[in-house]
Amino acid sequence: MTQDTVRLADILETIQTLVECESPSDDHTAVAVSADLVAELGESLLGVAPERIVIDGVSHLRWNFGGATRVLLVAHHDTVWPMGTLGRLPFAVRDGVLTGPGSFDMKTGLAMALHAVAAMPDRDGVSIIVTGDEELGSPSSRALIEESARGARAALVLEASADGGALKIERKGVSLYELVVHGRASHAGLEPEKGINASVELANQLLAVAALSDSELGTSVTPTVANSGTTGNTVPARASFKVDVRARTSAEQQRVDEEIRALTPVLPGATLEVIGGVNRPVLERSSSEALFERVQETAAQLGLEPFVGVAVGGASDGNFTAGIGVPTLDGLGAVGGGAHAESEHVIVEEIEPRTRLLGALVANLAGDTEVGGR
């Protein structure tokens, strides 16, 4: 087979089958059923069954062709949509637009990966990993992704594109924290002075944390969910708030981590506890540059328009592959929009050419001695 055998009708059939199998990340049974389906579809297209890997109850799949992995395709089959969503947001194709839960993020990209590799006459050195908990931050699959990518020349991530089909050549790193304040309870009316008010300490710390942002460097430090107290007439003994950190550079991610851990209480007797840390390392532009150039060359060979590369704030499993030093390019999947929203959609006319591009790119990279070589 060659990329000339890639047919839009076949890819659309695969996408429909995937979308109509609901797979919310937090439902291990549903994810297992989805993994069975992905394995069946993949075996039919690729001629070989995947390795089935279950970690902490989550089902992941991996295909390895030939010897050492030179090119790793990264996808996931879980979605943010709860069971039953398909009943009110069914799969549909109307006026060149494909809709359905998980269609954009990222079952179209998964279908594209399977069809692109299926059309390759020589798959030696190519691997595909399909994880089942990406939408949760990949808690069970991170080590598997890093293991699968280690030593590869390139990792190609089939997450959906940015606006207008742009590729994602830079992703911010993500750190997640919970800051817990421990105080002392007392009666708010009879003897408030005997308490150590965790709510007041929380307010002090929340402002200190928010001040760690640096908009000029692209660093956001955002307090989110906060909880405090037990009853309306009790000085709170415990309070907590969560923090979402996004950073463009590893240095900034490390700087924020150090400063959060160095926080000290304002109220005498209060204590602080920091839970969490770096969730996904930064995907810096330097990790994508050579691969982005290769995409442009491949697109020109196929008669496609040049691509645009953009930086985005969201993270993906590509952050993990870049974090261990593997050249990584993201956003190679669907063109459309509405990720995690009821407006989720895919532009149908973009599917086939991008699948052909993906197959040609993988073949090019797998046959090379190094990224950036000729």
Q: Are 72 and 291 in contact, with CB atoms under 8 Å apart?
A: no
Question: Which residues 6+ apart lie within 8 Å of 334 measured at CB?
Answer: 103, 104, 106, 108, 109, 112, 160, 161, 346, 347, 350, 351
pLDDT for 154-212, tens place per residue? 999 999 999 999 999 999 999 999 999 999 999 999 999 999 999 999 999 999 999 99
Sorting pLDDT into bands at 50, 70 and 90, what band is 372?
Answer: very low
* Residue 3 predicted with pLDDT over 70: no
Q: In this model, does residue 141 exceed pLDDT 90?
A: yes
Q: Which of 22, 78, 105, 317 is catalytic?
A: 78
Domain boundaries defined on the chain: 3-171+283-366, 173-280
In whole angstroms, what separates CA 307 from the centre of its chain? 21
Q: Give the model's pLDDT for residue 28.
A: 98
**Is the separation of the CB atoms in 37 and 107 below 8 Å?**
no
- In DSSP terms, 44 is beta-bridged to none
Cα-trace Rg, the chain: 23
What is the C-alpha separation between 40 and 42, in angstroms, rounded?
A: 5
Residue 183 vs residues 34, 203, 238, 330: alpha-carbon distances, Å: 46, 13, 6, 45
Structure tokens at 373: 């070589």
Residues in CB range of 351: below 8 A, 6 or more apart: 8, 11, 12, 15, 108, 112, 334, 335
Is there a catalytic annotation at residue 78? yes
Annotated catalytic residue: which of 22, 133, 134, 170? 134
Helices and strands, counts by H and E, the chain: 10, 18
Quote the mean pLDDT of the chain: 96
Q: What angle do CA 75, 108, 113 make, to 5 degrees?
A: 50
Q: What residues form DSSP beta bridges with 312?
A: 171
**What is residue 67's predicted lDDT score, i.e. its pLDDT?**
85
b/e sequence 323-361, b meaning 16+ C-beta within 10 Å: bbebbbbbbbbbbbbebeeeebbbbbebbbbbbbbbbbb
Tokens 């929380």 sit on residue = 202
pLDDT in tens, 205-236: 999 999 999 999 999 999 999 999 999 999 99
| CATH code, 3-171+283-366 | 3.40.630.10
Q: How does pLDDT run across 290-327, given as a tens digit for each residue?
A: 999 999 999 999 999 999 999 998 899 999 999 999 99
Give the integer Cα–Cα distance in Å for 240 and 178: 7
Q: Is the pLDDT of residue 9 over 90?
A: yes
Nearest to 332, CA basis, from 94, 10, 110, 31: 110
Is 173-280 in CATH node 3.30.70.100?
Answer: no
pLDDT of residue 368: 67
Q: Does the N-terminal peptide bond of residue 106 adopt cis geometry, omega within 30 degrees of 0?
A: yes
pLDDT at 101: 98
pLDDT of 373 reads 35
CA atoms within 13 A of residue 24's CA, in its CB half-sphere? 9
